[in-house]
C-alpha cells in the first residue's frame, strides 16, 4: 500500500485538472451512477466531530475519507483528514493519502466549478469572507476561472485579514458589508453562527459560494437563500439534517433547489439566465470530490514514483 504525505499531495495535485475532474464526477453523481451514502459523524469534545465519507465512482475509484472538524483549534488546522483508496475490483487497500490538503483543495475547486458555471463572464471583484485555509484555497482556485481585478478580504481579526490580503495581492476591508457591496463573486469560508452574507449587502447579479458549515448557526441569511438561484452538490447531502447537511437549508423544500452541480455540467438544468440574477452555491462537501482528488494524486504518484510503500499484511498463495 502506498503512503502519501501532505507535502507529496500538495506537489502532486493539479488544481486545474481537479476542477475538470470534479465536473465529470458531479455529472456522474447527478446521473445516479455514483454510490455515495450521506456523511455520518460522531461528536467529540471541544465542539469537535469525526465524519465518515465513503464513495464509489464505477470503474474509477473506491475510497473513504475520515475527517475531523475541531473549530477551536488554534495551533493546527480545524479540518484534518485521511483518505483510504481501495482497489475497486477486489477491495485491497491501495493507498493512504493525506486528506487535509485535499479537503481544502477540492472544496475550493468545487467553488471554482460553480463560479465557472454561474458567475457572470465579466466578474471582476471578488470578496473573500474569512481568513483561514479555505479563504486562501479559494483565492487560488477562483482566480483560475475568472479574471479578478480586485480582491477584498474581510474577517473577524483585522490583522489576519491584512496578512491574507498582502499574501494574495488583495485589499483588507473593515467589515463583511464593505467586502460584499459591489462584489461580483463572493467566497464565504467561515465557521460563523450568525450570517456573514446578508441580502441587503449584496448586489443583483452576484454569485455567492458558501462553504462554511457550523451546525450551531448559518453563514448565509434566509433572505439570500430564498431569493437566489440555489445550486448544491447533491440534494440528498445538502438537505440532510446538520451536521451532514447545510444549516442554511433546514426546512427548505427540495423544489427550491434549482440544480445540482452535475446537472449544470451535463446541461440537464440551465445556469444563470439573467444578468441581475443572484446565484448561490451552497456546499457541504461530498465524498465523490475527495475520492476523485485522491485518484488524481495516486495516478500522479505512480507516474512519478512518489510515496512510500508500506505493508498491512502479507498475501499468501
Alpha-carbon gap, residue 185 to 209, rounded angstroms: 8
Q: What range does the domain containing 75 cover?
A: 2-102+288-309
User: Domain check: are 191 and 269 in the same one?
Assistant: yes
- Please report whether residue 60 resides in a domain: yes
- Please report whether residue 317 resides in a domain: no
Can you give the CATH number for the domain in which 65 is found? 3.30.1780.10
User: Domain check: are 295 and 275 in the same one?
Assistant: no
- Please report whether residue 66 resides in a domain: yes
Can you give the CATH number for the domain in which 222 is found? 3.40.50.720
Residue 14's pLDDT is 97
- Please report whether residue 273 resides in a domain: yes
Domain count of the chain? 2
User: Domain check: are 46 and 97 in the same one?
Assistant: yes
Residue 89's pLDDT is 97
- Please report whether residue 198 resides in a domain: yes
**Closest C-alpha to 64, from 94, 90, 43:** 94
User: Domain check: are 51 and 35 in the same one?
Assistant: yes
User: Domain check: are 35 and 139 in the same one?
Assistant: no
**Closest C-alpha to 130, from 104, 151, 156:** 156
C-alpha cell read off for 255: 423544489
User: Domain check: are 208 and 300 in the same one?
Assistant: no
The 3 state secondary structure assigned to 135-160 is HHHHHHHHCCCCCCCEEEEECCCHHH
User: Domain check: are 152 and 279 in the same one?
Assistant: yes
- Please report whether residue 315 resides in a domain: no
User: Domain check: are 53 and 174 in the same one?
Assistant: no
User: Domain check: are 35 and 93 in the same one?
Assistant: yes
- Please report whether residue 21 resides in a domain: yes
User: Domain check: are 155 and 233 in the same one?
Assistant: yes
User: Domain check: are 135 and 96 in the same one?
Assistant: no
- Please report whether residue 249 resides in a domain: yes
Alpha-carbon gap, residue 80 to 14, rounded angstroms: 20
**Closest C-alpha to 112, from 254, 237, 104, 249:** 104
Per-residue pLDDT of the chain (317 residues; tens, 9 = 90+): 999 999 999 999 999 999 999 999 999 999 999 999 988 999 999 989 999 999 999 999 999 999 999 988 989 988 899 999 999 999 999 999 999 999 999 999 999 999 999 999 999 999 999 999 999 999 999 999 999 999 999 999 999 999 999 999 999 999 999 999 999 999 999 999 999 999 999 999 999 999 998 888 999 999 999 999 999 999 999 999 988 899 999 999 999 999 999 999 999 999 999 999 999 999 999 999 999 999 999 999 999 999 999 987 765 54
| Segment (H or E) for 54 | strand 49-57
Residue 215's pLDDT is 85
User: Domain check: are 300 and 273 in the same one?
Assistant: no
Alpha-carbon gap, residue 100 to 79, rounded angstroms: 7
Residue 314's pLDDT is 62
**Closest C-alpha to 310, from 85, 96, 90:** 96
Amino acid at each position: 500500500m502506498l503512503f502519501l504525505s501532505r507535502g507529496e499531495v500538495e506537489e502532486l495535485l493539479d488544481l486545474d485538472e481537479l476542477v475538470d475532474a470534479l465536473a465529470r464526477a458531479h455529472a456522474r453523481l447527478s446521473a445516479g451512477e455514483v454510490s455515495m451514502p450521506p456523511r455520518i459523524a460522531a461528536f467529540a469534545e471541544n465542539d469537535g466531530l469525526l465524519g465518515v465519507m465513503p464513495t464509489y465512482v464505477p470503474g474509477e475509484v473506491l475510497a473513504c475519507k475520515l475527517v475531523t472538524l475541531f473549530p477551536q483549534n488554534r495551533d493546527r488546522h480545524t479540518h484534518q483528514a485521511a483518505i483510504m483508496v481501495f482497489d475497486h475490483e477486489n477491495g485491497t487497500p491501495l493507498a493512504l493519502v493525506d486528506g487535509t490538503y485535499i479537503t481544502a483543495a477540492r472544496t475550493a475547486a468545487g467553488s471554482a466549478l460553480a463560479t465557472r458555471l454561474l458567475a457572470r463572464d465579466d466578474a471582476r471583484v471578488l470578496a473573500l469572507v474569512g481568513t483561514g485555509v479555505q479563504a486562501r484555497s479559494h483565492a487560488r482556485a477562483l482566480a483560475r476561472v475568472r479574471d479578478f481585478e480586485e480582491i477584498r478580504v474581510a474577517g473577524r481579526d483585522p490583522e489576519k485579514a491584512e496578512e491574507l490580503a498582502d499574501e494574495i495581492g488583495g485589499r483588507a476591508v473593515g467589515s463583511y458589508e464593505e467586502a460584499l457591496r459591489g462584489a461580483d463573486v463572493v467566497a464565504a469560508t467561515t465557521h460563523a453562527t450568525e450570517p456573514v452574507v446578508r441580502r441587503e449587502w449584496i448586489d443583483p447579479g452576484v454569485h455567492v459560494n458558501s462553504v462554511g458549515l457550523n451546525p450551531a448557526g448559518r453563514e448565509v441569511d434566509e433572505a439570500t437563500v430564498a431569493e437566489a438561484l440555489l445550486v448544491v452538490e447533491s440534494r440528498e447531502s445538502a438537505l440532510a439534517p446538520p451536521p451532514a447537511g447545510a444549516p442554511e437549508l433546514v426546512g427548505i423544500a427540495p423544489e427550491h433547489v434549482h440544480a445540482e452541480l452535475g446537472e449544470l455540467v451535463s446541461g440537464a438544468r440551465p445556469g444563470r439566465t439573467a444578468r441581475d440574477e443572484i446565484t448561490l452555491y451552497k456546499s457541504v462537501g461530498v465524498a465523490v470530490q475527495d475520492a476523485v482528488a485522491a485518484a488524481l494524486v495516486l495516478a500522479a504518484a505512480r507516474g512519478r514514483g512518489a510515496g512510500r510503500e508500506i505493508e498491512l499484511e502479507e498475501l499468501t498463495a
